[in-house]
Amino acid sequence: MTTTAILPPRRLIARTLGTPGAVAGSVILAILVLGAIFAPWLSPFDPNATRVCPRLAAPSLQNLFGCDLFGRDIFSRILHGARLSLAVGLLTVAISLIAGTFLGMVIAFLGGRADRIGVRLLDVMLGFPAIVLAILIVAVLGVGAFNAALAVGISGIPRIARVIRSATLTLVGREFVDSARAVGASQTRILRRHLLPNLLPIVIVLGSLDLGSAILSTATLSFLGLGAQPPTAEWGAMLSAGREFMRYAPWTMIFPGLALFLAVMSVNLVGDRLSHVLDPRASGSDG
């Protein structure tokens, strides 16, 4: 019987960086994050300033990624877009994780009728394709980057709750929960102090795997015109704006698309490896 070994953070990082893919993902992700943080200092131009270059100008030394229809510098816009995309992605994941974990734990822990009703409700929500649910929520809340994050976040709750519920069920049957009760711990104390820490590896893995699709989903909403509104620099919105000029000025689409691709890929590479390292069933084998 192997128990979940708890790795200290430094060893966890070392283990996570154990494969070339994870190293590549981490490097790309680090570049994107640094680019997002230092966007105001790294950008050669104001991302929203028009006519800093000829309209739809090709990439050059002055405008590394070329220019869009309004003569805005695409490189500057992508750097600023990284801030929005990563922040919105994190917010989305935070919403689904916090609400989903809470819901899944509570229904599993209460059991009985609460569990049966909860699971049925989750099933109904899962029956909807997530993006349709998200569009519905945006339709109710109104368009905007924040609402798009909220919508994608909410639509991700049932999936997380389902996974956390089943993980909690296996924990509730373990004897240490009984022994916590025998010590006189209250229900909330058992949930918070005994169950939650045991679920954290799963929560982290779910979060890291969801971050990529969250970034993509919010970009999709923006592409459809339901997320970030012009003139905000956002990758999905930039793709959408550039699609009319794909044949004459492909750089208006290539670079936002590439940024999106790299962001999602790097997050997934790191997430995959993290899930491997943290999954007790993988028993810490490298591969």
Partner 1 sequence: MADAPLLSVEHLDVTMRGIPVLEDVSFQIAPGETLGLVGESGCGKSVTALSIMRLLPNPPGKIAGGRILFDGIDMTALDAAGLRAIRGDRIGMIFQEPMTSLNPVYTIGDQIGESLIVHRGMSGSAAKAETAKLLDLVGIPSARNQLGRYPHEMSGGQRQRVMIAIALACRPKLLIADEPTTALDVTVQAQILDLIGRLRVELGMAVLLITHDLGVVAEFCDRVAVMYAGRIVEEAPAAELFRRPRHRYTEALLHTMPAANPPGRKLPSISGTVPAPLDRGDGCIFAPRCGFAVPRCTAELPPLEGAPHRLRCWNPA
Closest CB 112 distance from partner 1, rounded Å = 7
176 touches partner 1 by CB under 8 A: yes
Among 182, 247, 248, 286, binds partner 1 (CB under 8 A): 182
Alpha-carbon torsion, ordered 49, 148, 34, 69, to 10 deg:
-30
Report yes or no: 81 and 41 within 8 Å, Cβ to Cβ: no
Among 121, 181, 250, 254, binds partner 1 (CB under 8 A): 181
d(CA 187, CA 205): 26
Closest CB 164 distance from partner 1, rounded Å = 16
Q: Which residue's CB is nearer to partner 1, number 60 or number 179?
A: 179
Closest CB 275 distance from partner 1, rounded Å = 18
Stretch that binds partner 1, among 62-70, 152-160, 182-190, 224-232 (CB under 8 A): 182-190
186 touches partner 1 by CB under 8 A: yes
Closest CB 247 distance from partner 1, rounded Å = 57
Closest CB 270 distance from partner 1, rounded Å = 23
Q: Which residue's CB is nearer to partner 1, number 140 or number 182?
A: 182
Closest CB 97 distance from partner 1, rounded Å = 18
Non-local (6+) Cβ contacts of 181 within 8 A are 190
115's tokens: 């569990």
Report yes or no: 63 and 76 within 8 Å, Cβ to Cβ: no
**Helix and strand element counts for the chain (H, E):** 12, 0
d(CA 146, CA 124): 25
d(CA 243, CA 229): 16
Per-residue binder mask for partner 1 (CB under 8 A), 188-217, x = binder:
-x---xx--xx-x-----------------
Report yes or no: 282 and 202 within 8 Å, Cβ to Cβ: no
- Estimate the share of the chain in helix, then strand, then coil, as percent rounded to the nearest 5: 75, 0, 25
Per-residue binder mask for partner 1 (CB under 8 A), 104-123, x = binder:
--------x-----------
Among 69, 87, 90, 180, binds partner 1 (CB under 8 A): 180
Helices 74-110 and 20-37 sit at what angle, rounded to 10 degrees?
110
55 touches partner 1 by CB under 8 A: no
3 touches partner 1 by CB under 8 A: yes
Cα-to-chain-centroid distance, residue 189: 29
The residues that touch partner 1, with contacts defined as CB under 8 A, are 1, 3-6, 112, 174-176, 178-187, 189, 193-194, 197-198, 200
